[in-house]
Every structure is written in C-alpha cells, then in structure tokens.
Structure 1
Amino acid sequence: MGGEITAHEIARRAGVGIGTFYRRVGTLEALLKAVLGEVLGEIVAKGEEGLANPDPWAGFTTFALSYIHLRNELCDVNKRLGDVLDHSRAELRDRIQLLVERAQQAGMMRTDVTWEDVAFLMVAASSAGPYTLGLHAGARQWDRNLHVILDGLRSPDPSALPGEPPSLAP
C-alpha cells in the first residue's frame, strides 16, 4: 500500500463505506493483524515446502525467493502494528534455522554463516530502494540482490567472515 494505512483508504479500495468497514472488520488493527498472520503463515508454509524438497540447496533457495517476495508484502502492515505476532515469527525463525542447517549439513552452504546471518542477508536483499547514488533499480533488483547473496552462501571455498554473527534480541 505504501505510506500510512488508514481504514478510510481500505474501505475506499474495497468499495464500501467506512461504517460498513467497521461493522465487518471491527478495527483496523484487527484487519492488519489478520493479514500479517496470514502472510506469516504463508512464509512458514514455504519453509515447510523447502524442508520437504529432497535437495537441501534447492529447498533453501526456493524458500529464500518466496520469503523475500512475501516479506515485502508485510512491510507496511508490520510497521503499523509493531511486533504483535511473536509466535509466528518464532515459527519462521525455526524454519530458517532448519533450512540453513540442512543445507550446511549437506555441504551445500558455507558453515561459518549462522541462520541469524541468513535472516539479515535475506532482509538486505529485499530492502533495495528504487534509487541509489543516482542509479535506478530494475523491477527485479531484489531478485538480483538475492542471487548474489545466495552465490556468496554456497559452498565450497568461501572467504573468512569478519566480526560476530547476529543474535536474538533480549
């Protein structure tokens, strides 16, 4: 949606009056929470699909592409609500950890990268703005970014990583 999400804008786009919106939905926060929960559930399901793939690298990369696409849909809703779906986020963290560990155990992903690193890298791939340094991003810049990141995660012969990996916030 972009920018501030309002009940009036949602009602207008749905072709209903604001009174009808509130009778059917209750509150804007309830609607946004339901949308956020649905998209997070879809991301978790993509993690399950990745884990079910017999090829650990293909399972991970397919999940990563889906994750970035769906995550971009969440940005406005998540900003509006704040951190309200901790359980779904924990499930998502578990799927990312399992996918990364599986690819590492199969020798397909560098082992000096943690699943927490991977979570940050996937976000970095999706956060490309439309402009940087006077350059215009292509329509699939996030996809290009992710492929560069995936190539950097793949084994063998990675360079040594500086610093410490990220950790869960207290």
Structure 2
Amino acid sequence: MDRPRDAVDRLLVDASGRTPRADARRNVERLVDAARVAVAEIGVGVSAHEIARRAGVGVGTFYRRIPSLEVLLAAVLDEILDEITDLADRALADPDPWHGFREFADAYVRLRAESCGIGQALGGHHADGLAPRLADLREAIRSLVERAQAAHAMRADLAWQDVPFLLAAAATDDRTLGLRADGRQWEHNLRIILDGLRATGPGRPAA
C-alpha cells in the first residue's frame, strides 16, 4: 500500500515546488524530533512552547516553520502509525504466522506502553486526521489474526476485533489497587495474553 512522506517532508511541502533552505529543513527536523519525544513523554496535549523549548528554538521559529501545533502533531503521529503498519506488513511476510504475529504484538505493545501519545492516538485522539492510518492498521491486524487462525496457530473461537483490545490491555497503567507496576509489566501481561491466544492441542506452536 502507498505510504505518505515522512513527517519532515510532509511539513516541508511547498505548493511552489521550491526546495526549502538547509536551515529551514534543520529546524523542522529538530521540531519533529522534539515533538516525537514530547508526545511519548507528555502525550498529545503537549504545547508548542514545550516542543520549541526541547528543539532549542524560539516559539516564533516554530510558527514560521510549522503551520500549527495540530499540523505538527498530526504529521508526527501519522509517521509513527505508518511505522507500526510497516511492522505489521513485515510480520505478514514471516513464513511462520504465529512467529510473525508474536513479533508484531511485542513491538506494538512496547510502543503503546512506552509512548503516552501513541496510546492516546490509538485510543481515538486525533482520530479524524489519522483515520487512513488507523484503517490500514486495522486491516493489517485483521490479516495477521486470520492468517494465524488459518494455520491453526491461534484459537479460532475469537473475532479478529478482539485482538486489538487484548493488546491494548497489555499496555497497563502503572498503578492499580495500590500496587505499582515495574517498567516491564507490559511484557508479563503480553506473555499471558499470547498464551491465551494460542491454539491448543497437538499442533500448538512453540511460545
């Protein structure tokens, strides 16, 4: 499937077709890098001032190079969701359907657990602007699940729509019932979920 340009190129699109100056590109690259880190740590509610501070530029430079905060966040989230969908595409190319699904699930849940903003985006924030990317990701997960089921590697008594909810549940909050999770709690959760998803019987694949 076709993929849009990365976030920097997308933000540098100029209707005149002119090539941006090198300093302009460097500033946009710094803003995109800062936005990715800030979105991971703070979420989609991060401010333009915070992104500019992290990029080492003034807010005036931010708005000279970026049409708006919303445009920057949409470009960054779009790029990350493209990367997740690419992971799913590579998993679909794995000759072992269960191994491919497991590798994708690990990368997907890790990203959800480690990036506040991605969890928010996948949960519906910026949903209108990200609709094409989310649709691509839904289709990729559906294909991964159905491929694993067709190979009798994944239990057949679930709908593919169940799987995104289960993977989202693995990326737990860091506190519950007065307990505090360590930084790898998502891995424990995912192992249990994957064990529950595997087909049972003689043809059950290795963990």
Bucket of the pairwise TM-score, normalised by the shorter protein:
0.7 to 0.9
Q: 1:89 aligns with which of 107, 131, 134?
A: 134
1:99, 1:151 → 2: CA distance?
A: 16
The 1:113/1:80 distance shift into structure 2, 3 A limit, reads: closer
CA radius of gyration, larger in: 2
- Cα-to-partner distance string for 1:70-89 (whole Å, 9 max, x where unaligned): 33431356666343211111
> Match of 2:100?
59
CA-CA distance at 1:24 after TM superposition: 1.2
2:101 alignment partner AA: F
Asked if 1:153 corresponds to 2:197, the answer is yes
Determine if the alignment matches structure 1 residue 45 to structure 2 residue 86: yes
- Matched AA of 1:9: E
Alignment: residue pair count: 156
Deviation readout 1:104-145 (Å, 9 max, x if unpaired): 11111000111100011011111x111111111011111111
Which 5+ residue runs of structure 2 have no aligned equivalent? 1-40, 202-207
Per the normalisation by structure 1, the TM-score is: 0.86
Unpaired runs of 5+ residues, structure 1, are: 158-170
Q: Provide TM-score, normalisation by structure 2.
A: 0.71
Instruction: Pick closer, same or farther for the CA change 1:77–1:104 going to 2, 3 Å.
Output: closer
Percent identity for Structure 1 against Structure 2: 52
**1:33 to partner: Cα distance:** 0.4
Question: Conserved in 2, the CA contact under 8 Å of 1:2 and 1:76?
Answer: no
Spell out structure 1 runs of 4+ moving beyond 4 A: 76-80
SS of alignment partner, residue 85 of structure 1:
helix
Select which of 112, 125, 131 maps to 2:157.
112
User: C-alpha separation between the residues in 2 aligned to 1:113 and 1:146?
Assistant: 17
